[in-house]
Structures are given as C-alpha cells and as structure tokens.
Amino acid sequence: MTYDVTLQNITKTYEKGAIKAVKNVSLQIEKGELFGLIGPDGAGKTSIFRILTTLLLPDEGMANVNGLDVVSDYKEIRKRVGYMPGKFSLYQDLSVEENLKFFATLFDTTIEENYDIIKDIYVQIEPFKTRAAGQLSGGMKQKLALCCAMIHRPSVLFLDEPTTGVDSVSRKEFWNMLKKLKAQGITILVSTPYMDEATLCERIALIQEGEIMSVDTPQNIIDQYPMPLYKVKSDKMSLLLKDLRTLSYVTSAMSFGEFHHITFNSKTDESAQLLEDLKHHEKLECLPTRATVEDCFIHLMQNNVHAE
C-alpha cells in the first residue's frame, strides 16, 4: 500500500509551549484517497495542514508528503502540493483571469498547459473572468481558489475548511468537483467543521483539541457507536432538552436539528417511561434512530477517547 501523506507523532505548540495545538498526531493517507480531517474550530486542523504544506515547522515528530520530508525537502514539496487555505487569500483587486495567470506563473506553467485539469471548474467562472476577485460571490471565490490551487497539477491537494461560509448549493457543487478531481488520481485532504460532510470522504479522522479520537471510514465509525440512540421532540424543544437532562435514566441529551438525540443509562428501552414522565409536553415523540458521525464525535469527546 502506498501512502502519499504520513504523520508520525507530530506535535505543534504556540506561545512558547503554553498552547498545544497538535498533540502527538499520527496519520497515514493512501495515494488517491479523499480523506477528511473533521473537527471544530481550534481542533488543530489548520496547524496540521500548514505543517504538511511546509508553512510551519513541527516541534516534534516527522511528516512526509509524496515520500518527501516536510522539513528537509520543503522546496520540492511546494512544487507538488496544492493548498487552499480557509480564508480567501487571492488578490481581491486582480481579476479572475489575472489571479489564475499569476499562480500559473509562480509554478512556471500556463493556464493553457493545464487547462484540462481545471476546465470543469473554470468554465463555471469563466464568464466573470474580467471581474475583480473581491467582487465574486462566496461560491465563485471558492471555485477560483480551487482553480488556483490546481493550476500546477499537484499530486496532493490540501483544502482547509473550503466550504465554510458558502451556501448549501455551493457546498454540494464543491464536493461533486472533488469527486471528479479524485477520479484523476489526486490525493485530497479536506478539513471541515461540518459533520455532515464527513460521509462524503472515504476515510476520516475525528480531531478535538489537537488529538485524534478515531480514524476509519465514516460508516465504520458510525457502526461502532456503542448504544441504542433515540430521537425526541415536542412543541417546546428548549424546555424539553432541559427536562431530559433531569431524568436519572438519561445518559446524554443533545440537540440535533428538529430533534434531540438521547441515550439511556442501560440498553433497556426506557422510551415508554420517558413519555410518561414528560407527558406534560405536547406533541411528544421518542423514537429509535441511527447514529450520525456527529453523535459519534460527541460520544468520543465526552468519554475522552483518543486513537492509539
């Protein structure tokens, strides 16, 4: 098995060691894989990406990209990877076409030479090629940034929270674009705080406070959820959540969209007892449900579980 990205016991601190952003992280990403680093803001995702793209030095540990060391071989790695940072970082006053030409020139190539790899994405923004990048919508900025990250044909693509701040339609379009890029054999690492995007990756790592809690396929992580899960709702959801957390037989109660997800202290179905105890709530429902990646993340976090 060939690995395109390897991290071995990587640690990164800030403020002279006072802040531990990344704590002894080890990961292996296969060649051609679409891999997701899933976690909230401040979990350490950006620090890991900046180490892998040679923008930060790790305090401890080793990391390789394309078999090259991120410290000693940084110049060669920069030629081979594409990086789309979380914050839109293109030149706002340059046009779409000027930004793309600029990034192509940095890598000693041209738009024409590599047009085939960005064509499916670029045709969507080409009608606006003379417009200043700063005047584009969020979704269009996202597509332009991806084109600029791809214009030199990278073998590994790092996308740091690429769908943050864009609408749901643009998010869906973006993931469809990633699937097409993966089909071309590009290894793609995506970080995101959106748990629903985890299922769009082949494998994921759940990260919290700089530590990896689990690494597996989204389905395997969901299948490992250790207890029955129930969804509950009523006509007064905030009051319902408060009341659920007072019940001695309820282990956890978390808000999930139009429902609250709960678990019981034992594997016994206590839903009938719950319906009786909370009968003062109108339109009360309590039904079994399947766990999501977010349920699994919360369970691992609450139980302080970390991958070995």
- CATH value at residue 159: 3.40.50.300
Classify residue 236: in a domain, yes or no: yes
pLDDT of residue 284: 96
What is the pLDDT at residue 138?
Answer: 86
Helix (H) or strand (E) segment spanning residue 251: strand 250-256
Could you tell me if 139 and 205 lie in one domain? yes
Question: Considering the domain boundaries, does residue 299 fall inside one?
Answer: no
Which CATH number characterizes residue 267's domain? 3.30.70.2070
306 assigned to some structural domain: no
Residues 6+ apart with CB under 8 A from 26: 7, 8, 9, 10, 61, 212
308 located within any domain? no
261 and 199 co-located in one domain: no
Answer whether residue 302 is part of any domain.
Answer: no
Same domain, 52 and 189: yes
Say if 284 falls within a structural domain: yes
Contacts (Cβ under 8 Å, ≥6 apart) of 114: 104, 150, 151, 152, 153
Residues 147 and 79 in one domain: yes
Clarify whether residues 11 and 114 are in a common domain.
yes
* Same domain membership, residue 200 and residue 92: yes
Q: What is the pLDDT of residues 165-206, one digit of tens each?
A: 888 888 888 898 898 889 889 999 999 999 989 999 999 999
- Among the three residues 182, 201, 222, which one is the final residue of a domain in this structure? 222
Establish how many alpha carbons lie within 13 A of residue 11's alpha carbon, considering only the half-sphere containing its beta carbon: 11
Whether residue 57 is contained in a domain is answered as yes
Among 137, 135, 130, smallest CA distance to 97 is for 130
70 and 194 co-located in one domain: yes
CA distances (Å), origin 55, targets 40, 49, 163: 21, 9, 22
| Cβ contact 274:287 at 8 Å | no
Q: In what order do the strands lie in the sheet with 19-30?
A: 19-30, 3-14, 60-65, 68-69
Q: How far apart are CA 201 and CA 239, in angstroms?
A: 36
Q: Are residues 97 and 156 in the same domain?
A: yes
> Residues 134, 248: one domain?
no
- Does residue 173 share a domain with residue 269? no
Where b means 16+ CB within 10 Å and e means fewer, 134-159 reads eebeebbbbbbbbbbbbbbbbbbbbb
- What are the 10-residue block averages of pLDDT along the chain, 308 residues in total? 92 92 96 96 94 96 96 95 90 94 93 90 91 91 92 95 85 88 92 92 96 96 94 96 96 93 90 95 95 94 73
pTM: 0.91
- 169 in the same domain as 241: no
Q: How many domains does the chain have?
A: 2
Same domain, 145 and 33: yes
Rounded Cα distance between 95 and 104, Å, is 14
Q: pLDDT tens digits, residue range 95-122?
A: 999 999 999 999 999 999 989 989 988 9
The pLDDT value recorded for residue 212 is 96
Give yes or no for a contact between 161 and 192, defined as CB atoms under 8 angstroms apart. yes
Q: Which of 172, 192, 222 is the last residue in one of the domains? A: 222
The DSSP letter of residue 127 is: G
Structural domain harbouring 270: 226-290
* Alpha-carbon 105 to chain mean position: 30
Q: Considering the domain boundaries, does residue 297 fall inside one?
A: no
Distance CA 123, CA 129 (A): 10
Instruction: For residue range 141-159, list pLDDT tens digits in order.
Output: 999 999 999 999 999 999 9
